[in-house]
Structure 1
Amino acid sequence: MAGLPLSFAEPMLLLGLLSLPVLWWVLRVMPPRPRRLEFPPTRLLFDIAPREETPARTPWWLTALRLMAAALVILAAAGPVWNPQTGLAAATRAPLVILLDDGWSAASSWDIRIKAADELVAKADNDRRGVALIPLSEPARDITMMTGGTARVTLRQFVPKPYSIERVETLPAIERFLKATGDCEIAWLSDGVDTGRGQEFVEGLTKTIADRSLTIFEGGTPAPLALAGAENAAANMAVKVLRRDGGAIAGVVRALDQKGSPIGEARYAFAPQLRETEAAFDLPVELRNDIARLEIAGERSAGAVQLLDKRWRRRAIGIVSGSTSDTAQPLLASTFYLTRALAPFADVRLGDRGAPQQVITQFLDQKLPMIVLADVGTLSPEIRERISGWIAQGGVLVRFAGPHLAQADDDLVPVKLRHGGRSLGGSLTWEKPQHLAAFTAEGPFSGLGVPKDVTVTRQVLAEPDSVLATKTWATLEDGTPLVTGEHRGKGIVSLFHVSADMRWSDLPMSGTFVEMLRRIVDMSGYTSRPGAGVAGEATAEMVAPLHTLDGFGAFGPPPSTAKPLQADFRDRATPDHPPGFYGPADGPLAVNTLAAADRIAPIDTSPLRGQRASYSNAEPRDLRGMLLSGSLALFLIDATIVALLGVGIASLLRRRTAAAALAFVLIAPGILATSRQARAENDDFAIKATSQTRLAYVVTGNADVDSIVQAGMAGLTLFLAQRTALETGDPVGVDPAHDELAFFPLIYWPVVPGAAKPPQDAINRIDAYMKQGGTVLFDTRDAIEAAPGDGGAAQTPAMLALRNILSSLEVPELEPVPREHVLTKTFYLLRDFPGRFVSGQTWVEVLPRGEEEEDASRPARGGDGVSPIIITSNDLAGAWAIRPDGQPMLPLTPGEPRQREFAFRSGVNVVMYTLTGNYKADLVHAPALIERLGQ
């Protein structure tokens, strides 16, 4: 139905509603059943006089009740379905071809898209039609027709890609397949986003499908959000938040460091129809330099993540001028132009006081990563030696020419210089000022625009030799060098052959000057391999992928298709270079899904002729049962009323007592049904809990915590099935105040800071559960923030909440898990029990201490004495939590090798400990037994 998520399996049966007026007339004409009365003969004498009588009719309200019951029957017969499956109308036997957008922009609502595709495949499978699946991210993929069952299995293997897909590149393969297939039905599951060349794909698809049936799925899902263009400015860290379209929304961007720890949050807001906004982090520069990842809270896609590396750090850059300070004209000084050019992306430190060599010494002592020398001439041998060592360790030295440098003679320049200079009207004269030549594609300034209005009137010339061309980064139109540079050790030496002010060139006034300095600053911090190149910038080192993002924005190992890239890579992610970190762990290179200048827009599908359908996340619901039940209830009410009228108490129905009776007739079945439903729910819970061994967790009421814990317990259940012979059922969330706890061997209780103390009834149930052999694992999940308080006890909010819970429980004396405790060897041999964190301590009931040494070292009591309480702060469930695609839900801290594996092993040991008790306690005697066997 238009405007409602309602459809009918047999809509023609709705014509039966047209018979309701006729039925109304019939029911009104037919008199009600006559009443039976005692015959009084003498009464007839009083009614001898004839009079006209009107025959009795059925009351109008009873007629309306019957018509309502008949209407419900007709509607039920038509097969109504709420939230029906939208998609193709199965009016053909032609094969089904599904085009699937599977780039980063489809990831945030991936489950909904896969559900829609699965429904289409299921319908085609019922009709025994072939199915072809075409992911639009894989132009080289072989397109084959398959059965519905095979297609459903293949569909679940698809995952969104972490980069922007090029739909246009798949058109040739689609065209070849459609020519070979002939007639078919096509469904395009679009994400609605145009990241470039979208209209070209729509126009090409229009020609390719010709007259074939087409259904386009679009709408029904939130517009995907993305991040691009992060900039660490002088005042704050700002990042662009992008979307395709939509109304007014707001959200939060989170900042994380390299270990995944939060640093700060920044809010953003979109006005209606606005496609771009900004989130700014007002943090100290030291904290901003630690940011390694920006992400949109609640948005699961690689596009919603912006990774940052050393290039986004605001480096401290020292500027030293060899010219005499002119306080009368400060705006003409070289330091003014350099400061204005470097300030947008660096913290500039000026050496205004003292001799240049003293200022250089100060900057070297401060270990600045980059120093700019503007017309600094002769340097002492000691200073030159210190600068050379600083460059070899990774420092960047940028020098600008001037009268002092032209007369100097040192080796802290990339090329050998001629004494004197070349100027307009000099001995080495120009007829007119020289313009800049185009930057070479291989140099560090590749891609920068060449300003037409920039001219050079004087420069310092380089002595021509065999390596001059390899060290030239920029030239004038006559081929003479404008900028030269070379790599020395891990650092860089660069020279601008003009001054940093306006005396020799107007380059410092241009925006190109700012970008040239930005490129040089970006080059610092990355090692390069010396080699000959046309631009002389030394061939950049190739760096291999370290950690890459999947389509949902989660880190994982690099895929087998990921290839190394150059250390100066600046482009967006590609299939060969997925987003993530590349290179060494101590200084990786960040590759992002979107480049700084990328923007997204809605894709216009209006040129395509075909049906339009929307995605739906709601499950279809058949309404026939509900309508038939309602109809039956109305018929029962009608029969009751007729029976009452037939026995002569119709007058009661005209009074309040009749209304109360009728209300009781209507309400009583509901009360009885509710009572039966409550008993049935309790029985279902007991059957579910006892039919299979299950782990349980306490539902806290905090949606975020409960979802993570549920995913964590499910992950542990899966790990148990894969690594052990124990096959547990799905984990169960319990409320200690209402649910029976005796069914579960282990209950995981995540402690939420600030949560209210459970009611006493819940405390009593927990106390009884622990005394009857059950184990409760309390996890405060705060090891990363736990700091010892008075007496060595942690004072975190979660620990205070735990103490509030335990204050009403009879808790035994506790101790850290001893080295020989049976918990350390129930399945795996462990020494500690890490989770998301590794610094937390795990506590169990104190072991009994006997008089003899053997009794004192025994790790469990007789009778399978299992500790009724285990306390940790390592966030075990957070480490166990996995998403539906099998990837971890949360990062680890500090992310040690195999930390998540050992977290799962810790969970296995805890489960085995609660199930089997001390059956492995005798392992503590293994050394003595082996010694006896040796004797």
Structure 2
Amino acid sequence: MAGLPLSFAEPMLLLGLLSLPVLWWVLRVMPPRPRRLEFPPTRLLFDIAPREETPARTPWWLTALRLMAAALVILAAAGPVWNPQTGLAAATRAPLVILLDDGWSAASSWDIRIKAADELVAKADNDRRGVALIPLSEPARDITMMTGGTARVTLRQFVPKPYSIERVETLPAIERFLKATGDCEIAWLSDGVDTGRGQEFVEGLTKTIADRSLTIFEGGTPAPLALAGAENAAANMAVKVLRRDGGAVAGVVRALDQKGSPIGEARYAFAPQLRETEAAFDLPVELRNDIARLEIAGERSAGAVQLLDKRWWRRAIGIVSGATSDTAQPLLASTFYLTRALAPFADVRLGDRGAPQQVITQFLDQKLPMIVLADVGTLSPEIRERISGWIAQGGVLVRFAGPHLAQADDDLVPVKLRHGGRSLGGSLTWEKPQHLAAFTAEGPFSGLGVPKDVTVTRQVLAEPDSVLATKTWATLEDGTPLVTGEHRGKGIVSLFHVSADMRWSDLPMSGTFVEMLRRIVDMSGYTSRPGAGVAGEATAEMVAPLHTLDGFGAFGPPPSTAKPLQADFRDRATPDHPPGFYGPADGPLAVNTLAAADRIAPIDTSPLRGQRASYSNAEPRDLRGMLLSGSLALFLIDATIVALLGVGIASLLRRRTAAAALAFVLIAPGILATSRQARAENDDFAIKATSQTRLAYVVTGNADVDSIVQAGMAGLTLFLAQRTALETGDPVGVDPAHDELAFFPLIYWPVVPGAAKPPQDAINRIDAYMKQGGTVLFDTRDAIEAAPGDGGAAQTPAMLALRNILSSLEVPELEPVPREHVLTKTFYLLRDFPGRFVSGQTWVEVLPRGEEEEDASRPARGGDGVSPIIITSNDFAGAWAIRPDGQPMLPLTPGEPRQREFAFRSGVNVVMYTLTGNYKADLVHAPALIERLGQ
């Protein structure tokens, strides 16, 4: 039905509703059933006088009741379905071809898209039609026709890609397949986002499919959000938040450090008509420089993540001028243009007081990563030695020419210089000012535009030698060097062969000057791995992927298709270079899904002729049973009313005692049946729990938490079956206040912040369970929310809720799991117990030490040494949770390599610990035990 998620299996039967007016007329004409009365002969004498009477009719409200019952029967016969399955353009026997958008923009609603595709495949399978699946991210993939069953298995193997897909590149393969297949039915499951060349794809697809049937799925899902263009400015760190559609939307961007710990949050809000806004973090520079990841809260996609490396650090840069203070006026000073060019991306420290050598000494003492010398001439041997050592350790020295440098003679320049320089009208003259030549593709300034209006009237010349070309970063049109540089140790020395003011060139007034300095500043974060074009001990280096993002924005090991890239890579992610961190862990290079200039927009599918459908996340619901039940209830009400009218109300009241007795007779079996049913349910629960070893978890009543925990316990159960000899049954959700807990060796309790304290009944049951040998694993799931410093983890809302629960329990003394604890070696050898997070601690009952227990060296204790309580904040269930397709449900923080594997191993150790006790401790004490036996 238009406007409602409702459809009918047999819509023609709705024509039966047209008969209701006729039924109304028939029911009004037919009189009600006559009442039966005892014959009163005397009473007849009072009615001798004739009188006119109106025939009795059925009351209108009773007629309406009967019509309503009839209408419900007709509606039920038509087969109504609420939230019907997605349908195609028309009924056909032709094969089904599904085009699937599987880029990052489809990740946030991936389950809904896979569900829609699965419904289409299931329907085609029922009709015994072939199915072809075409992910639009894989132009080289072979397109084959398969059966419905095979297609459903293949569909569950698809995952969203963490980069923007190029749909256009799949058109040739689609065209070849359609020509070979002939007639078919096509469904395009679109994400509605155009990240580039979308219109070209739509036009190409229009020609390719010709007159074949087409259904386009779009809408019905939240619009994806993305981050791009993070900038660490002077006042704050800002990042662009992008979206596809309009409307008023607000949210939060979170900042995390390299370990996944939170640093801060920033709110964003979209104006109704805008598709771009900004989130700004007002934090100190030191904290901003620690940010390694920005992410949109609640958005699960690689596009909603912005990774940051040292290039986003706001570095402190010292500027030293060789000009004297009485001649350096504000607008004529050699530092004026430098300060304004560096200010947008660096903290500039201007040495405007004291001699240049004194200022340089101050900057070296402050360990600044980069120092700029503007026309600084001769330096003392001591200063030159200190600067050389600073460069060797990773410092970046940038020098600008001028009259003082032209006459100086030191080795703190990348090339040997001629004295005197070159100028218009000099001994080495130009006929006209020189323009800049194009930047080479191998140099650090590759990709920058060359301004046509920038000219050079004077420069210092480099002595030609065999390595001059390798040290040249930029040249003039006549081939003479404009910027040179080389690598020394871990640092860089660079020289601009013109002055930093307008006397020798108007380069400082151009935007290109700003970008050139930005590139050099960026290189200061990678001085151990210089970019292309930096001559010296090292050359351009390739860095291998460290860990990469999947389509959902979670870190994981790099895929086998990921390739190394250059250390100065600045482009967006590609299939060969997925987003993530590349290079060494102490100084990785960040590659993001979107580049700073990228924007997203809705894709226009209007040129395509076909049916439009929308995604639906709701399950189909057959309404026939509900309508028939309602109709039956109305008929029963009608029968009751007719009976009441037939016997009379007064007669009914006189029989109230009999009615009460009858009601008791009718209700009593129901009460007894309910009691028997409750006992049967308890018996079923006990049989289910004892027939096979099962893990249990506490049902919190929070639907989101319970669904994740259920999936997590199921994931751990599957991992146990795959890696151990233990085959546990499906996990069971329990209510401590009502369910018997003695059947379960381990109960996982996710703590929900702000939840009400369990009733005393539940507390008593948990206390008895723990004293009888059971173990409860409390998980506050808030490791990343803990404030830094001692005691920060104890002040989180979830930890306060846990304290509220434990306040009524007899809890033993606890300690972080020691290195020698049996829990670290019950199955796997572990040092710590990561979950979805890694920064939280795991607590167990304190082990006896020294003389605390009479035989402390004996490994076995009461309860076989198993701690009745385990507390963690690392969100075990979140790491264990898997979706039906076998993929992780939640991303990890910080997403270290094999973090999820070690989270599962932690779960295995906990289960084995609760099942087997501390038998592993015997191995530790084996020498002592053998020695005792020998005695």
- TM-score for the superposition, normalised by structure 2: 0.91
Q: Deviations over 1:830-850 (max 9, x none)?
A: 676555667766555567899
Q: Secondary structure at the match of 1:525?
A: helix
Q: Secondary structure at the match of 2:431?
A: coil
Deviation at 1:262, TM superposition (A): 0.5
Q: Contact (CA 8 Å) 2:394, 2:528: kept in 1 or not?
A: no
Q: Contact (CA 8 Å) 1:260, 1:891: kept in 2 or not?
A: no
Deviation at 1:395, TM superposition (A): 1.6
Q: Contact (CA 8 Å) 2:845, 2:868: kept in 1 or not?
A: yes
Q: Distance in 2 between matches of 1:795 and 1:226?
A: 33
Q: CA 1:661–1:26 in structure 2 vs 1: closer, same or farther (change >3 Å)? A: farther
Q: Contact (CA 8 Å) 2:557, 2:898: kept in 1 or not?
A: no
Q: Distance in 2 between matches of 1:299 and 1:852?
A: 52
Q: CA 1:527–1:540 in structure 2 vs 1: closer, same or farther (change >3 Å)? A: farther
Moved more, 894-903 or 763-772: 894-903
Q: Contact (CA 8 Å) 1:442, 1:534: kept in 2 or not?
A: no
Deviation at 1:522, TM superposition (A): 1.1
Q: CA 1:522–1:918 in structure 2 vs 1: closer, same or farther (change >3 Å)? A: closer
Q: Determine the structure 1 residue equivalent to 2:147.
A: 147
Q: CA 1:571–1:832 in structure 2 vs 1: closer, same or farther (change >3 Å)? A: closer
Q: Contact (CA 8 Å) 1:716, 1:907: kept in 2 or not?
A: yes
Q: Does 1:71 align with 2:80?
A: no
Number of residue pairs matched by the alignment: 935
Q: Determine the structure 2 residue equivalent to 1:440.
A: 440
Q: Distance in 1 between matches of 2:213 and 2:161?
A: 28
Q: CA 1:55–1:868 in structure 2 vs 1: closer, same or farther (change >3 Å)? A: same
Q: Distance in 2 between matches of 1:594 and 1:42?
A: 102
Q: Contact (CA 8 Å) 1:326, 1:333: kept in 2 or not?
A: no
Deviation at 1:86, TM superposition (A): 2.0
Deviation at 1:721, TM superposition (A): 1.9
Q: Contact (CA 8 Å) 1:821, 1:859: kept in 2 or not?
A: no
Q: CA 1:587–1:718 in structure 2 vs 1: closer, same or farther (change >3 Å)? A: same
Moved more, 200-209 or 520-529: 520-529
Q: Deviations over 1:488-520 (max 9, x none)?
A: 222222111110011111111111111110011
Deviation at 1:383, TM superposition (A): 2.2
Q: CA 1:538–1:512 in structure 2 vs 1: closer, same or farther (change >3 Å)? A: farther
Where do residues 179-194 of structure 1 align in structure 2 (5 Å cutoff)? Answer: 179-194=179-194
Deviation at 1:359, TM superposition (A): 1.6
Q: Contact (CA 8 Å) 2:371, 2:397: kept in 1 or not?
A: yes
Deviation at 1:867, TM superposition (A): 4.1
Deviation at 1:18, TM superposition (A): 0.7
Q: CA 1:796–1:579 in structure 2 vs 1: closer, same or farther (change >3 Å)? A: closer
Q: Contact (CA 8 Å) 1:473, 1:484: kept in 2 or not?
A: yes
Deviation at 1:862, TM superposition (A): 6.6
Q: CA 1:763–1:530 in structure 2 vs 1: closer, same or farther (change >3 Å)? A: closer
Q: CA 1:662–1:394 in structure 2 vs 1: closer, same or farther (change >3 Å)? A: farther
Q: Distance in 2 between matches of 1:603 and 1:670?
A: 60
Q: CA 1:4–1:441 in structure 2 vs 1: closer, same or farther (change >3 Å)? A: same
Moved more, 97-106 or 27-36: 27-36
Q: CA 1:886–1:258 in structure 2 vs 1: closer, same or farther (change >3 Å)? A: farther
Moved more, 96-105 or 410-419: 410-419
Moved more, 875-884 or 386-395: 875-884
Deviation at 1:323, TM superposition (A): 1.1
Where do residues 352-363 of structure 1 align in structure 2 (5 Å cutoff)? Answer: 352-363=352-363
Deviation at 1:756, TM superposition (A): 4.8
Deviation at 1:738, TM superposition (A): 4.3
Q: Distance in 1 between matches of 2:230 and 2:19?
A: 68
Q: Contact (CA 8 Å) 2:773, 2:863: kept in 1 or not?
A: no
Q: Deviations over 1:373-408 (max 9, x none)?
A: 111111222322222222222221111110111111
Moved more, 60-69 or 561-570: 60-69
Q: Contact (CA 8 Å) 1:82, 1:623: kept in 2 or not?
A: yes
Q: CA 1:557–1:73 in structure 2 vs 1: closer, same or farther (change >3 Å)? A: same
Q: CA 1:60–1:112 in structure 2 vs 1: closer, same or farther (change >3 Å)? A: same
Q: Secondary structure at the match of 2:331?
A: helix
Structure 1: gaps of 5 or more residues: none
Moved more, 903-912 or 295-304: 903-912
Q: Secondary structure at the match of 1:199?
A: helix
Q: Secondary structure at the match of 1:791?
A: coil
Q: CA 1:665–1:65 in structure 2 vs 1: closer, same or farther (change >3 Å)? A: farther
Q: Deviations over 1:542-573 (max 9, x none)?
A: 00000100000000000000000000000000
Structure 2: gaps of 5 or more residues: none
Q: Deviations over 1:903-928 (max 9, x none)?
A: 43343233234334566675566335
Deviation at 1:49, TM superposition (A): 4.0
Deviation at 1:304, TM superposition (A): 0.3
Moved more, 337-346 or 883-892: 883-892
Q: Contact (CA 8 Å) 2:161, 2:551: kept in 1 or not?
A: yes
Moved more, 546-555 or 691-700: 691-700
Deviation at 1:246, TM superposition (A): 2.7
Q: Does 1:80 align with 2:80?
A: yes
Q: Distance in 2 between matches of 1:216 and 1:895?
A: 36
Deviation at 1:608, TM superposition (A): 0.3
Q: Secondary structure at the match of 2:280?
A: strand
Q: Contact (CA 8 Å) 2:532, 2:568: kept in 1 or not?
A: no
Q: Contact (CA 8 Å) 1:6, 1:81: kept in 2 or not?
A: yes
Q: Contact (CA 8 Å) 2:487, 2:535: kept in 1 or not?
A: no
Q: Distance in 2 between matches of 1:557 and 1:803?
A: 37
Moved more, 26-35 or 130-139: 26-35
Q: CA 1:560–1:813 in structure 2 vs 1: closer, same or farther (change >3 Å)? A: closer
Q: CA 1:586–1:849 in structure 2 vs 1: closer, same or farther (change >3 Å)? A: closer
Deviation at 1:343, TM superposition (A): 0.6
Q: CA 1:757–1:643 in structure 2 vs 1: closer, same or farther (change >3 Å)? A: closer
Deviation at 1:856, TM superposition (A): 3.8
Q: Does 1:166 align with 2:166?
A: yes
Q: Secondary structure at the match of 1:36?
A: coil
Q: Distance in 2 between matches of 1:4 and 1:680?
A: 41
Q: Distance in 1 between matches of 2:851 and 2:428?
A: 102
Moved more, 687-696 or 650-659: 650-659
Q: Distance in 2 between matches of 1:217 and 1:661?
A: 61
Q: Distance in 1 between matches of 2:359 and 2:530?
A: 31
Q: Secondary structure at the match of 2:306?
A: strand
Q: Deviations over 1:149-178 (max 9, x none)?
A: 000000000000000000000000000000
Q: CA 1:852–1:243 in structure 2 vs 1: closer, same or farther (change >3 Å)? A: closer
Q: Contact (CA 8 Å) 1:485, 1:537: kept in 2 or not?
A: no
Q: Deviations over 1:790-837 (max 9, x none)?
A: 999977766555444333223456667677766555444567655566
Deviation at 1:447, TM superposition (A): 1.7
Q: Determine the structure 1 residue equivalent to 2:460.
A: 460
Q: Secondary structure at the match of 1:625?
A: helix
Q: CA 1:370–1:823 in structure 2 vs 1: closer, same or farther (change >3 Å)? A: closer
Q: CA 1:327–1:263 in structure 2 vs 1: closer, same or farther (change >3 Å)? A: farther
Q: Percent identity?
A: 100
Q: Contact (CA 8 Å) 1:486, 1:493: kept in 2 or not?
A: yes
Q: CA 1:132–1:543 in structure 2 vs 1: closer, same or farther (change >3 Å)? A: same
Q: Deviations over 1:9-33 (max 9, x none)?
A: 0000000111111111111111222
Q: Determine the structure 1 residue equivalent to 2:336.
A: 336
Q: CA 1:933–1:136 in structure 2 vs 1: closer, same or farther (change >3 Å)? A: farther
Q: Distance in 2 between matches of 1:836 and 1:312?
A: 27
Q: Contact (CA 8 Å) 2:501, 2:508: kept in 1 or not?
A: yes
Q: CA 1:681–1:219 in structure 2 vs 1: closer, same or farther (change >3 Å)? A: farther
Q: Determine the structure 1 residue equivalent to 2:775.
A: 775
Q: CA 1:266–1:659 in structure 2 vs 1: closer, same or farther (change >3 Å)? A: farther
Q: Deviations over 1:264-297 (max 9, x none)?
A: 0000001112100000000000000000000000
Deviation at 1:665, TM superposition (A): 16
Q: CA 1:517–1:135 in structure 2 vs 1: closer, same or farther (change >3 Å)? A: same
Q: CA 1:489–1:754 in structure 2 vs 1: closer, same or farther (change >3 Å)? A: same
Deviation at 1:431, TM superposition (A): 2.1
Deviation at 1:691, TM superposition (A): 5.7
Q: Contact (CA 8 Å) 1:542, 1:564: kept in 2 or not?
A: yes
Q: Deviations over 1:721-761 (max 9, x none)?
A: 22223333443444433444344332223445665543323
